[in-house]
Amino acid sequence: MSVHRPGRPRRARQARRSGSLLSLRSLAGQVFVLQLAVVMLLVAAALVALVVQARRDVMADARHRTLTVAQTFANAPGTVSALNSANPTAALQPHAEATRTATGVDAVIVYGLNGITLAHSDPRQIGKRVIGPYAAAATGTPFTSTFRGSLGLSVISAVPVRGPGGSVIAIVSVPVRVERVRHRVNRQLPVLLGGAATALVVAAGGSGLVSRRLRRQTHGLGPTEMTRMYEHHDAVLHAVREGVLIVGGDGRLLLANDEARRLLDLPADAERRHVTDLGLDEDLAGLLAGDRPATDEVYLAADRLLAVSKRLTAPHGPDGSVVTLRDTTELRAVSGRAEQARERLQSLYDAGLRIGTTLDVKRTAEELAEVAVTRFADVVTVDLLDRVLRGEESSGGAGITELRRSAVAGVDAGPPLHPVGELIRLVPADPVSTALAEGRPVLIRDVSAAGAWRARQPESAGRIFDHGIRSMLAVPLRARGVVLGVVVFRRAEGSPAFEDEDVTFAEELAARAAVCIDNASRYTREHAMAVTLQHSLLPRALPEQSALDVAYRYLPAQAGVGGDWFDVIPLSGTRVALVVGDVVGHGLHAAATMGRLRTAVHNFAALDMPVEELLGRLDELVAQIDAEEVTAAEHEQGVITGATCQYAVYDPTSGRLAIATAGHPGPAVVRPDGTVDFPQLPVSPPLGLGAGLPVETAELTVPEDARLVLYTDGLIEDRTRDLGAGLAALRDALTGPGRTPEATCAAVMEAMLSDRPRDDIALLVARTRRLGPDQVAEWEVPRDPAAVAPVRTACARRLAEWGLERIGFTAELILSELITNAIRYGAEPIAVRLLRTEPVGSPDAGSLIFEVADGSSTSPRLRRAKVTDEGGRGLFLVARFAERWGTRYTATGKVIWAEHSLRHDATPEGEGLDELLLDQWDDTAL
């Protein structure tokens, strides 16, 4: 596994940087190569010169040496005496050989004037005559000559030897080979070459150091780049029409181009001086000398306004900063107008965000006033038509005589301005009347100079002027070609008067606000229609029943009415059905669909359907509605329906609660001790999605004085909490014993209701009651007609115990007919039950319920008997004397029931019975 070493990249960069030193693309590399070439040429030339000079020195040395040796030997003190001796050769030969050896010449030769050799380094040559050019020497003149002999190039010098009288008595000749002298010189060549190599290395190193420093100075740039940089530098200094300054880290000015000198009026010797010594404005000099960057900050320099931008050069360069200057003096007027236009566009943008945040007409008018008074006017009033406030359609601007003050905003919006809510009657020549009548803005630059208005309304105009208002602008509010009202902008003393440019802005602002006001007005109208429809479809009062003590709350959503509904439906046998439902969506369609479903539930409940069958039928109905909507949607008219529902039936005789749920939140059960339970119930798919599947149902046993709480999802879900948090909050709100249903509703709504509910909320709280043993009487009846009389007798005794002897005959008649019908047409087992109900708060009221159950599923049918029929009149009598009657099916058969009211104004006992029976026969037939 490789390990990253932080130092390696840096060394690699240094290696690349060092290698780039020899790159011919950079100026430093090119200078290095040029310097190296020059040094090599100089060294080569020096070597050549040394060699040539050495050769020349060899020849000169050879001449000088031979001549010197010859002269020295010729002038030696013993030479003349040796020549004059009897044996010159013996005297001269040793000295000649010693001199040759000491001086390194080839030979020392002494000749006589006759050419006979007297002394020679080669003894064999002594006594021989030598022929040579010695005439000059014989005359007394020394000479040196060069000749090429068998041993190579040689130099020979001849010097005369003078006697005591000055005459020439002999000649001394000294030859030497050039090669001999050159060999001595060649021994010095390594030293010369070594010196040359050393000089070359030293010169190359010096060139490298110079090139390295040059590379640092030029940053590795080549000649082309250097030329281009110089051109750019020259352009910045002389041609750029933007001031450029380079300031060092010590605050001294390093560079200033021509434009900067012109803008700042810098002296000629400004460079290298501290910026605080250049006569600049104190703030500008402080910026230039400090280390704070800046972007387009405006400073004053003489009579110019300069936009100054400053950037620090560190860490990309040495400490310092680069400053650019732009003259903005000529652009101030244009930029001022542009800034004003930008501010107005920003104001319009802000107005678009702040106006129309709600669909409330008055709040929208207030938002218009608040937006305008902050940036455009000192006082703003908004007056609207009453029809607009009510959500009704408005007519054109002509004929408008009254407006309702809807909003006022400003620093001093008191008298003489009308307060919010006051009805304002318009008068001719008033700016508001003119704006509405002509459908255009009316500008009054100076209230004191408004002659027509002050002439016709001097009191009103005078109050406005005395209150400090100096300029006014009235703009009608129009949307869809209809006048909604007017907005009046006012500026007080001390503010500039309105101008023509302000009119355009005011029109645009009023147009945007008018659209929002119109939307709010139309929403108010549609919302009122939907609320009216919804309220007409919801129950207006709870029906009388004795099984439950019920309270409810219904709250429509702020954004629009929805399809939530609830119902309390009395059923046979003192049972009561509780219903809550929710249609998806909002608006008229949801409310209308809710009405259809509520009506269907009432109709299905009237048939005494079990809870699962009722929701199954309702599911089929919603599926059918959806099919119709799909067909309508193909023609761009329909909306697909979705709904949830919870249907529960409570039986006070047993305390059993049968409940079925189709996609709806489950109920809460508050036990008598105040604890709260959310029973786990089977949940079927929402209505319309069941696809014919059976609906699951559940049965609970609810204790007396418990509270059943049914609700829609709008109560427990909103934008601030999820389902779990909503159920926890509902549990906390319901916990506690001894509360009435009304108090429970109030506590739940206070704890759960948000400021602006997004969905409808339906809440139904029912406290359970139970029928005591003294209110129920039951008998088993064998399938024998003789059993009718004992049961009828037992019923009479129980009625006497209940104090209901006055209806004994009617009760026996109804019960006899029901039992006889069950024995004749039904099947065993047969049972009879009497139920007496006593609603709370009405001791004189209540009802008596007769129930006869048998094991068959055949249903009796009421019909008018024919004249010739012996029977067929029993159910007719039951229907005549009972307030209600009907049939409901059970798992083992059916129950035929009849209910008789216990009110005092009920039908008297037996009154008119004879006429009723006679009416069953036709006199003509008899």
Percentage helix, strand, coil for the chain under 3-state DSSP, each rounded to 5? 45, 25, 30
Residue 325 has pLDDT above 80, yes or no: yes
pLDDT of residue 567: 93
Q: pLDDT of 696-710, one tens digit each?
A: 999 999 999 999 999
385 against 709, higher pLDDT: 709
pTM over 0.85? The answer is no
Give whichever of 372-386, 727-741, 748-762 has the largest mean pLDDT. Answer: 727-741
Q: pLDDT of 70-96, one tens digit each?
A: 878 878 887 888 778 878 888 888 888
Tokens (6 digits) for 901: 């009211």
State which amino acid sits at residue 119.
Answer: A
Q: pLDDT of 512-553, one tens digit each?
A: 888 998 888 887 787 777 777 767 777 777 888 888 999 999
Give CA separation, 514 vs 194, 371, 796, 810, 911, in Å: 103, 14, 77, 72, 72
Residue 509 has pLDDT above 50, yes or no: yes
Q: How far apart are the first and last CA of the chain?
A: 123
Q: State CA 275 to chain mean position distance.
A: 45
Residue 916 has pLDDT above 70, yes or no: no
pLDDT of residue 15: 43
- The β-bridge relationship of strands 320-327 and 243-248 is antiparallel
Q: What's the Rg (C-alpha) of the chain?
A: 65
Q: Judging by beta carbons within 10 Å of its beta carbon (0-12, 13-18, 19+), is residue 786 exposed, middle or buried?
A: exposed
Residue 924 has pLDDT above 60, yes or no: no
pLDDT of residue 919: 52
Residue 114 phi/psi, 5° resolution?
-85, 0
Q: Judging by beta carbons within 10 Å of its beta carbon (0-12, 13-18, 19+), is residue 249 exposed, middle or buried?
A: middle
Distance CA 765, CA 152 (A): 145
Residue 244 has pLDDT above 50, yes or no: yes
pLDDT of residue 23: 60
What string of DSSP letters covers 500-550? HHHHHHHHHHHHHHHHHHHHHHHHHHHHHHHHHHHHHHS-SSPPP-SSEEE
Which range has the worst mean pLDDT, 207-211, 350-354, 526-530, 672-676? 207-211
pLDDT of residue 723: 82
The average confidence (pLDDT) of the chain is 79
HEC string for 90-112: HHHHHHHHHHHHHHCCCCCEEEE
Residue 102 phi/psi, 5° resolution?
-70, -35
pLDDT of residue 921: 43
Question: Tokens 């055949």 map to which residue?
Answer: 858
pLDDT of residue 387: 86
203 against 361, higher pLDDT: 361
Of 535, 520, 534, 532, whose CA–CA distance to 391 is shortest?
520
pLDDT of residue 6: 40
Residue 220 has pLDDT above 70, yes or no: no
pLDDT bracket for residue 868 (50, 70, 90): very low
- Percent of the chain at pLDDT above 90? 13
Residue 611 has pLDDT above 90, yes or no: yes
Residue 324 phi/psi, 5° resolution?
-115, 145
pLDDT of residue 284: 85
- The β-bridge relationship of strands 656-662 and 683-684 is parallel
Q: Judging by beta carbons within 10 Å of its beta carbon (0-12, 13-18, 19+), is residue 109 exposed, middle or buried?
A: buried
Question: Can you tell me whether residue 175 is helix, strand or coil?
Answer: strand
- The β-bridge relationship of strands 304-312 and 294-301 is antiparallel
Residue 766 has pLDDT above 70, yes or no: yes
Residue 418 phi/psi, 5° resolution?
-70, 145
Q: State CA 405 to chain mean position distance.
A: 41
The DSSP H or E segment spanning 389 is: helix 386-390
Residue 537 phi/psi, 5° resolution?
-90, -20
Q: Are 247 and 321 in contact (CB under 8 A)?
A: yes
Q: pLDDT of 621-633, one tens digit each?
A: 888 888 877 665 5
Tokens (6 digits) for 431: 């700016």
pLDDT of residue 184: 56
Residue 413 has pLDDT above 60, yes or no: no
Listed as own residue / partner, the contacts of 514-517 with beta carbons closer than 8 Å and 24 or more positions apart are: 514/477, 514/478, 514/479, 514/484, 515/356, 515/479, 516/355, 516/356, 516/364, 516/367, 516/368, 517/361, 517/364, 517/365, 517/368, 517/384, 517/388, 517/477, 517/479, 517/484, 517/485
- Percent of the chain at pLDDT above 70? 78
Residue 173 has pLDDT above 70, yes or no: yes
Buried b (16+ CB within 10 A) or exposed e, 398-417: eebeebbbbbbbbeebeeeb
Q: What is the mean pLDDT of residues 904-925?
A: 48
Cα dihedral sign for 715, 720, 722, 728? Answer: negative
Residue 52 has pLDDT above 90, yes or no: no
Q: Are 590 and 561 in contact (CB under 8 A)?
A: yes
Distance CA 582, CA 602 (A): 16
Q: What is the mean pLDDT of residues 477-493?
A: 87
Residue 502 has pLDDT above 90, yes or no: no
Which range has the worst mean pLDDT, 147-151, 258-262, 564-568, 842-846? 842-846
Distance CA 647, CA 634 (A): 33
Distance CA 394, CA 883 (A): 53
pLDDT of residue 644: 92
Distance CA 771, CA 769 (A): 7
Residue 246 has pLDDT above 80, yes or no: yes
**HSE of 857, CA atoms in CB hemisphere, 13 A:** 4
Which range has the worst mean pLDDT, 384-393, 411-420, 581-590? 411-420
pLDDT bracket for residue 842 (50, 70, 90): low
pLDDT of residue 4: 40
pLDDT bracket for residue 199 (50, 70, 90): confident
Residue 896 has pLDDT above 60, yes or no: yes
Give whichever of 223-232, 469-478, 568-577 has the largest mean pLDDT. Answer: 568-577
Which range has the worst mean pLDDT, 343-347, 771-775, 872-876? 872-876
State which amino acid sits at residue 26.
Answer: S
Q: Are 12 and 5 in contact (CB under 8 A)?
A: no
Q: pLDDT of 634-664, one tens digit each?
A: 554 445 567 899 999 999 999 999 999 999 9
pLDDT of residue 427: 77
Of 192, 166, 164, 208, whose CA–CA distance to 28 is shortest?
208
pLDDT bracket for residue 2 (50, 70, 90): very low
